């Protein structure tokens, strides 16, 4: 059987210009975005100004548009934006970075009115703007020094009063590539603008009503500049200008520790977690709890100061409250050989007695101790709630082969909840759980650890019939062909704390 050819440059070149031209024209006929990209490439033969002219025409149309975009038109609109961005980055950027930087800023500045025209709950259009911001960082790195020096003025002219938050993201990309004089001038200009804006807003502040001020974003830019210049004291001074509840105390503490200023870092970290920036995509679990992050950082600072015993006490105390695997790892790593084994056993015992069952389960799974997770499930068999359908099915699936009794307890909790609340859309999953329970019945029923009051599977099924016999939609699935559906879809990532120890 002939191998499928791969799309490589040398393979495409072997097709010849005539064949490639025909393929390109065919694709352009049915793909408006590709056709525009093709036109930009052709315009490039006449120089960067010709490409810029085509891009300007499309940007002007985007800036003029006001009509709402229906949901079924959002994807083509997104693709058109991607095509326009591709023309700026792919066609204009390589031949004239200065023109490309200006058009990128103009493109990014359209975000406000674009978001008024669409429902971008999926975030797909935002992704295009984020790509543009990242692309600006790349283009900024190729600018000549005079063009780079002019970039702060362009940024402020296009985005200086926009409230969506893209201004600070753009600045974070740009400051990495500017000369020290350009950064110093930008910082000075921003300082003056902040003073002027504060004076202009004095009446609003006196009124006591909440209002949005651009000065917070401008201050963030000044901090980004201070970071780029390596001026930590300036960065801290700007942080002190914020209201106390809004200070990023952990971020400042981490930077002070990195700079070898551990005593100051300890003072900052003990002020509390403050506002801790979230990592995109992070789960809401103990590892991302600002208080957990605070303790881990405090322990590192104490260790740097030679106060290892105090660091261990801080870690253990907070672990006892949160059962954070990361804090336990840090604590065990700091202990001498053999002492860490004893401390781990003590931690496992503590986790087994933790008052919050789900917190303890999370810890055992993250620690790759499925045996202890199963023991916990059995010991607290009456506490599991089928409403936790986004977690329990996956846990039960992990346990069913080696710990059928624990898996059965979870499957029963899930099935009982589905039927008790008559969740008809979940009946296929309920039918699946019942099938799994029947497969586990022999082992689960014979397990000597089976809790008192947990009926045998036959009796459990008979009670289901007695209590929910009128739910014909469910029983038709049970008595007919059972689906092999996966558990209900989880809208987000799987819980990070589930681990099989692989």
d(CA 389, CA 456): 23
The pLDDT, as a whole number, for residue 152 is: 97
Say whether both 101 and 121 belong to one domain: yes
Say whether both 35 and 104 belong to one domain: yes
The pLDDT, as a whole number, for residue 211 is: 74
Burial code (b: 16+ CB inside 10 Å, e: under 16) for 12-21 equals: eeeeeeeeee
Say whether both 58 and 74 belong to one domain: yes
235, part of any domain: no
- Other C-beta atoms closer than 10 Å to the C-beta of 306 total 10
**Cβ neighbours for 114, distance < 8 A, ≥ 6 positions apart:** 62, 81, 125
Say whether both 174 and 30 belong to one domain: yes
Question: What does the CA dihedral 385, 386, 387, 388 come to, rounded to 10 degrees?
Answer: 80
Say whether both 500 and 357 belong to one domain: yes
Q: Cβ distance 383 to 408 under 8 Å? A: no
Total domains in the chain come to: 3
pTM for this predicted structure: 0.74
Structure tokens at 175: 């400051």
340, part of any domain: yes
315, part of any domain: yes
Say whether both 314 and 373 belong to one domain: no
The last residue of one of the domains, among 152, 178, 204, is: 178
132, part of any domain: yes
The pLDDT, as a whole number, for residue 44 is: 59
d(CA 487, CA 430): 9
Cα 188–Cα 190–Cα 196 angle in degrees, nearest 5: 110
The pLDDT, as a whole number, for residue 35 is: 67
Say whether both 333 and 361 belong to one domain: no
Domain span holding position 340: 245-352
**Cβ neighbours for 11, distance < 8 A, ≥ 6 positions apart:** 5
Say whether both 25 and 174 belong to one domain: yes
Say whether both 342 and 387 belong to one domain: no
Question: What does the CA dihedral 334, 335, 341, 345 come to, rounded to 10 degrees?
Answer: -70
Say whether both 418 and 456 belong to one domain: yes
Q: Match 């065990």 to its residue by tokens.
A: 332
pLDDT in tens, the chain (502 residues): 455 566 677 766 777 777 777 776 777 776 666 666 676 676 656 678 989 999 999 999 999 999 999 999 999 999 999 999 999 999 999 999 999 999 999 999 999 999 999 999 999 999 999 999 999 999 999 999 999 999 999 999 999 999 888 999 999 999 999 999 999 999 999 999 999 998 988 888 777 777 788 999 999 999 999 999 999 999 999 999 998 888 999 999 999 999 999 999 999 999 987 655 443 333 445 567 788 899 999 999 999 999 999 999 999 999 999 999 999 999 999 898 889 999 999 999 999 999 999 999 999 999 999 999 999 999 999 999 999 999 999 999 999 999 999 999 999 999 999 999 999 999 999 999 999 999 999 999 999 999 998 999 999 999 999 999 999 999 999 987 544 444 444 433 444 445 544 4
Q: Match 């859309």 to its residue by tokens.
A: 425
The CA-based diameter of the chain, rounded to the nearest angstrom, is 85
Q: What is the DSSP letter of 87?
A: I
The last residue of one of the domains, among 330, 352, 374, is: 352
124, part of any domain: yes
206, part of any domain: no
The last residue of one of the domains, among 329, 352, 375, is: 352
278, part of any domain: yes
Say whether both 118 and 257 belong to one domain: no
What's 327's domain CATH number? 1.25.40
Say whether both 300 and 379 belong to one domain: no
318, part of any domain: yes
The pLDDT, as a whole number, for residue 270 is: 94
The pLDDT, as a whole number, for residue 287 is: 62
Q: What is the CA radius of gyration of the chain?
A: 30
């Amino acid at each position: 059987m002939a191998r499928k050819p791969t799309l490589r440059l040398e393979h495409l070149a072997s097709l010849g210009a005539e064949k490639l031209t025909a393929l390109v024209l065919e694709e352009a006929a049915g793909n408006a975005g590709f056709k525009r990209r093709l036109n930009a490439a052709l315009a490039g033969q006449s120089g960067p100004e010709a490409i810029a002219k085509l891009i300007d025409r499309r940007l002007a149309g985007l800036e003029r548009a006001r009509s709402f975009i229906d949901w079924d038109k959002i994807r083509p609109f997104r693709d058109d934006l991607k095509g326009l961005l591709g023309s700026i980055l792919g066609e204009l950027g390589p031949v004239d970075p200065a023109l490309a930087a200006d058009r990128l800023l103009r493109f990014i500045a359209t975000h406000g009115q674009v978001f008024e025209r669409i429902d971008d709950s999926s975030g797909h259009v935002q992704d295009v703007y984020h790509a543009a911001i990242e692309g600006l960082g790349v283009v900024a790195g190729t600018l000549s020094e005079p063009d780079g020096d002019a970039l702060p003025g362009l940024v402020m002219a296009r985005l200086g009063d926009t409230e969506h938050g893209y201004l600070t993201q753009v600045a974070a990309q740009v400051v990495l590539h500017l000369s020290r004089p350009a950064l110093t001038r930008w910082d000075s200009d921003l300082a003056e603008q902040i003073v002027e804006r504060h004076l202009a807003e004095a009446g609003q502040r006196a009124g006591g009503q909440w209002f949005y001020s651009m000065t917070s974003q401008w201050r963030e830019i000044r901090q980004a500049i201070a970071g780029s210049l390596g001026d930590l004291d300036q960065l801290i001074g700007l942080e002190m200008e914020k209201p106390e509840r809004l200070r990023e105390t952990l971020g400042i503490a981490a930077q002070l520790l990195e700079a070898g200023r551990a005593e100051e870092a300890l003072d900052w970290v003990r002020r509390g977690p403050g506002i801790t920036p979230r990592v995109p995509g992070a789960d809401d679990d103990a590892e991302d709890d600002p208080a957990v992050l605070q303790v881990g950082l405090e322990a590192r600072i104490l260790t740097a100061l030679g106060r290892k015993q105090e660091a261990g006490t801080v870690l253990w105390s907070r672990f006892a409250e949160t059962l954070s695997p990361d804090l336990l790892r840090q604590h065990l790593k700091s202990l001498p050989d053999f002492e860490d084994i004893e401390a781990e056993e003590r931690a496992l015992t503590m986790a087994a007695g933790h008052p919050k069952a789900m917190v303890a389960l999370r810890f055992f799974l993250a620690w790759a101790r499925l045996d202890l997770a199963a023991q916990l499930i059995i010991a607290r068999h009456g506490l599991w709630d089928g409403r936790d359908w986004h977690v329990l099915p996956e846990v039960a699936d992990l346990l069913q082969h080696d710990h059928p009794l624990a898996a059965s307890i979870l499957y029963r909790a899930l099935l009982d909840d589905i039927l008790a609340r008559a969740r008809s859309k979940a009946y296929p999953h309920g039918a699946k759980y019942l099938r799994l329970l029947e497969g586990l019945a022999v082992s689960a029923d014979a397990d000597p650890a089976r809790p008192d009051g947990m009926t045998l599977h036959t009796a459990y099924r008979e009670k289901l019939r007695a209590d929910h016999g009128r739910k014909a939609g469910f029983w038709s699935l049970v008595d007919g062909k059972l689906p092999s559906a996966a558990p209900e879809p989880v809208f987000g990532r799987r819980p990070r704390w589930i681990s099989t120890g692989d």
